[in-house]
Chains A and B, each alone.
Chain A
């Protein structure tokens, strides 16, 4: 286990027979992810890329009791139910790729998962990838990653691909890359993800990719000030030029009620000695200094 995933990760895919579910199951398998089963209600008995499909998570687990993670591609209206089903069946890690889930639904299933000892990554996220053990639970393009000592946590999917790509092309690999998603309320949040990386023996430095909206970056900075995060951290914040009051694509990316602007996040990081890159590629230069 690196962080949350490792050599013993055995995944199921919920919504495997849908367009995105099928496509990305193929990509995850190519990368090396051990996917043991798929679930789509009403499609039990089918096969996708040679993976058996079941009607329920419970049935999938009775045939594949080693499954311990799930990737959810189920459409927004049915995705909350899929999360409850996975957690109820005892899955410990649920990665929710689905976008447009109402926040109230997310708050409830994230709470439920927490009480049941499970972790939710997402919703509206690219997932998690560990290049060392070659585990990819999500939709990121596998070829831009390489094994290495840097843990990455990101509120933005594409920006994390971009920055991983810069890192890999300069010979800096990743221990794990976690895309926590762009919704206002994520399951695993920025601070929790950073704390996991702080405790991870394979991670020597941490990259935080933040953006406007909320105060997650400020809370990480506060944890650094309290000495709860001791590893070197490098940050990038998207949206320095975003106007206030406008939702910039992500439901969570909005400067509102006087909080959430990039300047306050940059200042919070710089105050605790975390260098903040001004462009995505500058992250690599800053990393080269701290490593």
Chain B
């Protein structure tokens, strides 16, 4: 789950990270009032969970409350990089002396947390790592040892601070680290982290990504996610609730598989034979008939889907359960479009018997089934 800037900043602030004063606004009037309260000038920032807002017109300066009203009126209800803007963050404008980069994330290869720090910031870390790799300090934190003082000193020195400002950077880093742990984050990032002309060290922007599998431990965020799934389409979020992962694509062949790898391979096969998948739909491991029923029904009712390819290789998934789910969906919706099935694995004989009873085309090899479904979709 990607957090909005205002959510990330509020969490970081609760862990002692100093922040610029700011107010959230959902209407132009609120933006004007916020600007009046904070004192002009202010910065108006569109709340969307995508990087690169600035270049896309999602961050604007406003010199007066009236200008804040106009800028917010322009942003609210509009789009930034394809995402709807429902809220803006109004923040005091600050004079910046220097911009830096600081983040904490999980590193796959080392199986540890990693702190990335750079004395230059304000651009993507990928760009910094590419253009000036010697500027990026990597500090790996053993999760069982935790963040140690020597590591904090190392990061602070790298960013070029000591004394009072060094202690401020330390507070930022420790706050970010605590938020990272407490919120089961995949990423906590402040970019830019700024040294202001008045000597304060504050994040101008903050990003947090929370591990979806840990959302149950954060009921407030789970609720926020259910009400507003951000960059995930409402439909993809609904599909997830039923128990499968679904990604919309732009083709016309409905693809259902079990297991992410097999479903991706099924998509790849459809492409290889000249077809275009309408979706990625992974019913997951151990899916029961109810999940399969919902999945098949979804694609049967989707007008864009001309033919459906179900590719199942059962391990923890019982293929007879899959067949019963297909049966249930067909009984309810009828069969408005062709379905091609490849079924292998656990309880395969029973699964095939059920599908044969429904007169569904079955293949032993996914390649043959893929070729067939591409042909059927083309008719």
Contacts and interface: CB of A to CB of B under 8 A. Distances in A.
A185 B247 contact: no
A75 to B, nearest CB: 11
A110 B106 contact: no
A31 interface: no
Query: Which of B108, B258, B268 has most chain A Cβ within 10 Å?
Result: B108
A100 B261 contact: no
A159 B181 contact: no
Nearest to B249: A243
Nearest to A24: B316
Nearest to B280: A248
A212 B264 contact: yes
A141 B315 contact: yes
Interface residues of B, number: 55
B268 A141 contact: no
B298 interface: no
Nearest to B259: A158
Contact of A248 (B260, B314, B345): B260
A126 B316 contact: yes
Nearest to B288: A19
Interface string A12-45: 0000000010001001000000000000000000
Contacts of A238: 260-262, 264-265, 268
Contacts of B252: none
B249 A104 contact: no
B75 interface: no
Contacts of B263: 248-249
A182 interface: yes
B264 A239 contact: yes
Nearest to A159: B261
A186 to B, nearest CB: 8
Interface stretch (B8-16, B162-170, B193-201, B209-217): B209-217
A225 interface: no
Interface stretch (A51-59, A64-72, A199-207, A275-283): A275-283
Nearest to A184: B108
A193 to B, nearest CB: 14
A184 to B, nearest CB: 5
Interface in B174-192: 181, 184, 186
Contact of B144 (A108, A138, A157): A108
B282 interface: yes
A185 B213 CA distance: 13
A111 B111 contact: yes
B277 to A, nearest CB: 7
A158 B316 CA distance: 9
Nearest to A258: B126
Given A111-B144, A165-B344, A278 B272 contact: yes
A82 to B, nearest CB: 16
A248 B285 CA distance: 14
Given A108-B144, A251-B213, A211 B264 contact: yes
B108 to A, nearest CB: 5
Contacts of A249: 245, 259-261, 263-264, 280, 282, 284
Nearest to A191: B109
A240 interface: yes
A161 B313 contact: yes
B261 A158 contact: yes
Nearest to A282: B367
A241 B260 contact: no
Interface stretch (A86-94, A213-221, A226-234): A213-221
A161 B108 CA distance: 25
B267 interface: yes
Given A107-B143, A161-B344, A185 B260 contact: no
A126 B313 CA distance: 12
Interface in B282-337: 282, 284-286, 313-317
Given A111-B144, A249-B284, 6 more contacts: A102-B213, A161-B313, A182-B259, A216-B109, A238-B264, A257-B124
The 8 A-B residue pairs whose C-beta atoms are closest, nearest first, are A156-B261, A249-B260, A158-B259, A102-B214, A249-B282, A159-B261, A158-B262, A250-B260
Interface of B: 106, 108-109, 111-113, 124-126, 142-144, 181, 184, 186, 211-214, 216-217, 245, 247, 249, 257-265, 267-269, 271-272, 277, 280, 282, 284-286, 313-317, 344-346, 365-367
25 contacts: A27-B346, A102-B184, A102-B217, A103-B106, A107-B111, A111-B143, A141-B313, A156-B262, A159-B262, A165-B344, A182-B261, A189-B111, A211-B260, A216-B108, A238-B261, A239-B261, A239-B264, A240-B268, A241-B271, A249-B261, A249-B284, A279-B268, A281-B365, A281-B366, A281-B367
